[in-house]
Amino acid sequence: MASTLHAQPAQPPGGRGRGAITSPRNAYPDRAPADPAAIERGKALYGVNCQFCHGADTRGGDGGPSLLRSSTVLDDQNGELIAPIVRSGRPGMPKFTLGDDQIKDVAAFVHSFRAAGYDEARLRPPSIIVGDSKAGEAFFNARCASCHSTTGDLRGLASRIPDERLLQQTWLMPGSGGSRGGPPPVTLPPIMVTVTLPSGEMVAGKLDRLDDFTVSLITADGTHRSFRTNGNTPRVDVRDPLQPHRDLLGVYTDADIHNVTAFLVTLK
């Protein structure tokens, strides 16, 4: 549930005259205690859908920003501002099909954290390997083996990525698992796009930009091409190598994530 909005600089409560005393924005509002059952439900949903990007304590993970300092989260009351982001997604963030009550529960959990507090969630356990490797292998064979091979592209994966948390983040969403400020541990093929013009001409290349009005790409010879779009004209076909991973994000259970990680760490 990545939010691209962050807390704005503090503004004075009154005028900006010289000598005026300024006070910080009430960035961390006091909230009435939420229903403990709602927080527990939200914690479970957050753990499956959000934790791998935003961290166990909402302060940011390897692939997502801190929610604790997001102005959207700070201004949200019961999930009403979080919901559009969850359902629409953001660049690098998939859409999630959570119901209103589920999003309210996630919001209750997120709002339970405080900037100045020290939460138990920040105490990292010695190991995150708590799953069943056999169950993880079964899940892998059913869901992943059509694209990946333990004797091919994943051979020696755990030796190449010895950090368990980084390994988990990498298989959940390859390309986003780099350490803070560092590159991801695997190199991914680029997102490719083919533009079919009304004349039938097809232009293919590496996707540079795609929005509601324009598609830009770089062809094999390095030429930059850009096209205006109007609805489905011209036709734009995107081939994202991460799409299967994005599709599975809404499918995994917490147990699936732990089990697959437990299996992948055996690939020495």
DSSP 59-117: S--SSS--STT-HHHHH-SSSTTHHHHHHH-BTTB------HHHHHHHHHHHTT--TT-
The tally of CA atoms less than 13 A away on the side-chain side of residue 53 is 22
pLDDT in tens, 156-203: 999 988 988 888 888 887 766 554 445 556 677 899 999 999 999 999
How is domain 192-240 classified at the architecture level of CATH?
A: Roll (2.30)
* ω into 234 cis (within 30 of 0): yes
Mean pLDDT score of the chain: 80
Q: Write down the pTM of the prediction.
A: 0.53
**pLDDT score recorded for residue 121:** 46
Q: Does residue 158 sit in helix, strand or coil?
A: helix
| pLDDT for residue 124 is more than 90 | no
Contact in structure between 62 and 177 (CB atoms under 8 Å): yes
Neighbours of 24 (CB within 10 A): 12
Of the candidate CATH numbers 1.10.760.10, 2.160.20.10, 3.40.190.10, 3.40.920.10, the domain formed by 36-122 belongs to: 1.10.760.10
pLDDT in tens, 17-42: 333 333 333 445 667 788 989 999 99
Mean pLDDT of 202-228: 95
Range in 11-20, 34-43, 127-136, 145-154 the model is least confident about: 11-20
Contact in structure between 229 and 217 (CB atoms under 8 Å): no
Percentage of the chain exceeding pLDDT 70: 79
pLDDT band at 128 (very low <50, low <70, confident <90, very high): confident
Percentage of the chain exceeding pLDDT 90: 40
C-alpha to C-alpha distance for 130 and 177, rounded to whole angstroms: 20
